[in-house]
């Protein structure tokens, strides 16, 4: 589906994986994108990728869990546009542990990066989003919010909470003509998935072996691509989804549709 975002402004968090590819997808569709990430090396890579394609992507170093950092980013964006047509919250970290093994520090950090950031960016960029008179917000959640593996307590909690945040925002923001949805990817080939594959690999298995196993667990027999998640995000940000709000879109190759018996 061809989507034209010419003349539109978007803010995206996460300079790798789904966030990066969503930003590039939107920019390839004509949008001007403000992209936020905390990792300097990945920020530089994202800038280089955008520059290589002559895309309008401005990359800023931002700690999305920190109020002062996001405030500065919001002020930077406000200095260049008086309205935002979309916000994509894709920044996240993967953490492992049970209620017995997750430390308070790990819990707080995961909540701050994965969940608080969605509130914080939405809150601080709200005046620009309202000014667009038809903006869209997309929070990137996960199938781990619907059903989860062992020992992903904090991560799964944040992803499940994003659904509630999405619903509440969709109801509240409708009066300002802002639509709010979430997407829930299954296994998608990203640096985060590769990190998980390395963490879970054992008995002589490699990261690639684990990724292949992840794929086999999906009815479609493979892991997803960032192009596929980006296409859904772009759709939700477009006029074609003008009557879609408060929804969660699963991009999981049928993973959550099947029974595990």
Instruction: Supply the residues annotated as catalytic.
Output: 155
CA-to-CA separations, 219 to 12, 128, 187, 192, in angstroms, rounded: 30, 41, 12, 22
d(CA 73, CA 70): 5
DSSP symbol at 99: T
d(CA 11, CA 70): 12
d(CA 53, CA 174): 36
Tally of CB atoms within 10 A around 161 = 18
CA-nearest of 191, 173, 141 to 17 is 191
Residues 6+ apart with CB under 8 A from 21: 226, 227, 229, 230
d(CA 140, CA 230): 11
Q: Tell me how far the alpha carbon of residue 92 is from its chain's centroid.
A: 7
């Amino acid at each position: 589906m061809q989507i034209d975002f010419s003349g539109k402004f978007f803010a995206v968090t996460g300079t790798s994986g789904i966030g990066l590819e969503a930003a590039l997808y939107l920019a390839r569709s004509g949008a001007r994108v403000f992209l936020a990430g905390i990792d300097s090396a990945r920020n530089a890579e994202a800038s280089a990728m955008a520059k290589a394609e002559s895309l309008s992507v401005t990359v800023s170093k931002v700690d999305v869990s920190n109020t002062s950092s996001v405030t500065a980013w919001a002020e930077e964006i406000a200095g260049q546009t008086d309205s935002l047509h979309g916000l994509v919250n894709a920044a996240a970290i993967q953490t492992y542990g049970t209620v017995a093994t997750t430390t308070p520090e790990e819990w707080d950090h995961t909540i701050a990066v994965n969940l608080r950031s969605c509130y914080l960016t939405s809150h601080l960029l709200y005046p620009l989003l309202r000014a667009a008179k038809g903006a869209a917000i997309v929070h990137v959640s996960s199938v781990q919010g619907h059903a989860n593996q062992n020992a992903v307590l904090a991560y799964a909690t944040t992803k499940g909470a994003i659904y509630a945040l999405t619903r509440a925002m969709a109801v509240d923001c409708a009066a300002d003509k802002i639509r709010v949805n979430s997407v829930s990817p299954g296994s998608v080939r990203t640096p985060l998935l590769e990190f998980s594959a390395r963490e879970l690999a054992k008995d002589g298995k490699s990261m690639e072996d684990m990724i292949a196993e992840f794929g086999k667990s999906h009815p479609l027999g493979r892991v997803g691509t960032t192009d596929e998640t980006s296409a859904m995000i772009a759709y939700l940000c477009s006029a074609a989804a003008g009557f879609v709000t408060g929804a969660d879109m699963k991009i999981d190759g049928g993973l959550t549709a099947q029974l595990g018996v």
